[in-house]
Amino acid sequence: MKVITVKNYNEMSKKAAEILIKEINKNPDLTAGFATGKTQLGFYKRLVKSNNDFSKITSFNLDEFYPIKKTDKKSYYLYMFKNFFNKVNIKKSNINLLNGNARDYKKECKNYESKIKKNPIDIQFLGLGENGHIAYNEPGSKLNSRTRLVNLTKSTIKRKKGPKNGLSMGIKTILSAKKIVLLASGKGKAKAVRCMVKGKIGEDCPASFLRKHKNVIVIIDKKAGSLL
Catalytic residue set: 63, 131, 133, 138
CB 106 within 8 A of CB 167: no
Q: For residues 183 and 31, what is the distance between their CA atoms, to the nearest angstrom?
A: 19
Q: For residues 173 and 119, what is the distance between their CA atoms, to the nearest angstrom?
A: 12
Q: For residues 60 and 79, what is the distance between their CA atoms, to the nearest angstrom?
A: 14
CA-CA-CA-CA torsion sign (86, 6, 24, 214)? negative
Q: For residues 220 and 9, what is the distance between their CA atoms, to the nearest angstrom?
A: 8
Helices marked H in the chain — which ranges?
A: 9-26, 38-50, 76-83, 105-118, 154-160, 171-175, 190-197
CB 9 within 8 A of CB 183: no
Comparing CA positions, the residue from 96, 84, 128 lying closest to residue 225 is 128
- b or e along 188-227 (b: 16 or more beta carbons within 10 Å of the residue's beta carbon)? ebbbbbbbbbebeeebebbbbbbeebeebbbbbbebbbbe
Q: Name the phi and psi angles at 101, rounded to 5.
A: -115, 20
